Amino acid sequence: MPSIAVVGLQWGDEGKGKVAAYLARGANLAVRYNGGPNAGHTIMYSGKTFRMHLVPAGGLVCGTAAIGAGVYVDLKTLSEELKESREVRPDLRLYLSPRAQVITEIARRAEEFLESMRGERAIGTTRRGIGPTAVERFGRVGLRVADLLEPDSLQEKLRDIVTFWNLKGVDTRALADGLSELFSSIEVEVTEVNRLIRERLTSGGTVIFEGAQGTMLDVFYGTYPYVTSSITTSAGVSIGCGIPSRWIDVIVGVAKSYTTRVGAGPFPTEIHGDIADRIRSAGVEYGATTGRPRRIGWLDIAQLKFAADLNGTDEIFLTRVDTLSGLDRLKVCVGYEGYEDGEFPVTVSELSRVRPVYAELEGWPPIDETKRGEILREGYGALPSQARRYLDFVEENLGTHVKYVGVGPRTEDVVER
């Protein structure tokens, strides 16, 4: 499989990092194509836990990573993350696109202002400066990695950004010096990532594209305006890496066995109370970037169908079948009253009014460490029969093959179906 895209099908945190790491065994290059330090990809690999925000999780596994033009880069996060990664993987090579956008203090200040301006309608962003940095890009005042290679004109460019946001009291000299100094301390190779990918693929290599966020947070197709400022669908691979879409051989859509969301915005299958608390604590469902408790809901096949169609999903990787274990019964949303298959509300007011239609299924006994060991030794057949029925049900209703099943947090806690 020469090129595989990993995309989130829900509202983020589906387990994309783990999936990318799993698929990166034997790959030659792992590439991040979208998002920025708003992402938090936790992987357990070689007995250690890593929380990755910018460096592709798959890079820790295959040793060569790249950050494409579609990524918003925070130099401090990148610097810290690279240091930590190289403690365990000293040979890690990281390529950085000169076209990637740089997040500055100015964008974080602008975001604080924009979020507080919205008051109760605040998006609940990660406050990493993503939205304003995206605005700067399309407003044609943004700072790119290539600009850091031309320190003489850096201050002038920063002044333009300050003027753009109409901010006062920003010391652009200090900011320019700080950025230059930090950048020169980071051991990355600035190179056109599109050409690198082309070289790897034409010489028979395998490349993993690791997405950030999820389809429902996409700036075009997500639950706008409660979205992020990136293209989070598989279309983001082509834009964020500079390769034609037809160069992606397989699109793996990642979904949890239930649904979570951090931040504000409508969430049709959201649940509160005992079951939600139980899933949250069993799954340690707290944001990897901000530590906020994640909102919990049942699996939503109406939403997943919309997402799977948008992405052209070839295969599903369903994570956390172990987290959902131990419940007597569980629900799955199979559609919204009055909506066709694959149809999804356009506005948040419409989405907040939908009435999910639920199917009730039997739960399965707890998947603890012993049971997990048995499943990993014996394969898919060792999953509890109710869990297998759940997976069959999801596959039939979604119309996409559920190929991989996550049964634990470690990179290797996977059974193929």
Characterize the bridge pairing of strands 3-8 and 250-256.
Answer: parallel
Torsion angles phi and psi, residue 6, rounded to 5: -110, 115
With 0-12 / 13-18 / 19 or more C-beta atoms within 10 angstroms meaning exposed / middle / buried, residue 346 is exposed
Coil, strand or helix: which one is 301? helix
13 is a catalytic site residue: yes
Nearer to Mg ion, 43 or 361 (CB): 43
Q: How far is the CB of 202 from ligand GDP (least distance, A)?
A: 29
For residue 210, state whether it binds Mg ion (rule: CB under 5 A).
no
Which x/- pattern, by CB under 5 A, does the window 32-71 give for Mg ion? --------x-------------------------------
Q: How far is the CB of 240 from ligand GDP (least distance, A)?
A: 16
> By beta-carbon distance, which residue lies closest to ligand GDP?
406
CA 285: distance to chain centroid?
A: 15
128 binds, among ligand IMO, ligand GDP, Mg ion, none (CB under 5 to 8 A by kind): ligand IMO
18 binds, among ligand GDP, ligand IMO, Mg ion, none (CB under 5 to 8 A by kind): ligand GDP
Nearer to Mg ion, 212 or 235 (CB): 212
Q: Residue 320's closest CA among 60, 27, 18, 93?
A: 18
Structural contact between residues 143 and 136, judged by C-beta atoms closer than 8 angstroms: yes
User: Cβ of 211: how many Cβ atoms within 10 Å?
Assistant: 36
Nearer to ligand IMO, 125 or 319 (CB): 125
Residues in the interface with Mg ion (CB under 5 A) total 3
Which residues of this protein are in contact with ligand GDP, per CB under 6 A?
8, 12-18, 39-42, 44, 288, 319-320, 322-323, 406-409, 413
From CA 139, how far away is CA 375, in angstroms rounded?
A: 52
Nearer to ligand IMO, 213 or 233 (CB): 213
41 is a catalytic site residue: yes
Nearer to ligand GDP, 104 or 233 (CB): 233
Q: Any residues with CB less than 8 A from the CB of 169 and at least 6 apart, and which? A: none
41, 218, 300, 322: the catalytic one is: 41
Characterize the bridge pairing of strands 315-319 and 401-406.
Answer: parallel
Catalytic residue numbers read 13, 41
